[in-house]
Amino acid sequence: MLDTEGSTALSRHRANAPHHGRTGRVAHPETPCDLVTVPAREGLEAVDILRLRSGVGPVLHDRDGDTLGFLVPPGTAREWNLPGSACTETYGTPPGSCQPPVTGTGWLVPPRDAPTPATAPDRLRAALCEATRTLAALDRSCR
């Protein structure tokens, strides 16, 4: 399960985010988006799956390397319910900006390299579920 009270920048953002999503930690408050955060291991596998199939939007990583954050369309947080992940309302970067929307993070997939401005929630959910199954099978085979 994802530690929602952890010490990473993305989890601090999530834990401190008021209901409307403005935290004071966001670099450019004018562009609405939501942020799905996941443990790095599952997130990296999901990034690979999405790159191979349907494309991935911008992805953040915290500087500690514990968490990845996928930018998803606004409104996703209202419907998101996937164990091991969390989705919060936030504000992203304007198109063409290199500045991450959460302080203490960097881009794994910068907006300029992403084929889409946000990852589709249904595709992200499918990729995360596939990543979890793949990693569980790998863990079983290594015992």
pLDDT tens figures, 54-82: 889 999 998 887 999 999 999 999 999 99
pLDDT of residue 20: 33
pLDDT of residue 101: 67
Whole-angstrom distance, CA of residue 19 vs CA of residue 92: 16
pLDDT of residue 70: 95
- Look up tokens 């500690």; give the residue: 64
Task: Decide if 31 contacts 9 (C-beta within 8 A).
Answer: no
Whole-angstrom distance, CA of residue 122 vs CA of residue 7: 28
Confidence band (pLDDT; 50, 70, 90) for 128?
very high
| Backbone angles phi and psi of 62, in degrees to 5 | -80, 160
Whole-angstrom distance, CA of residue 57 vs CA of residue 70: 7
pLDDT of residue 96: 56
pLDDT in tens, 89-110: 876 655 556 667 677 888 999 9
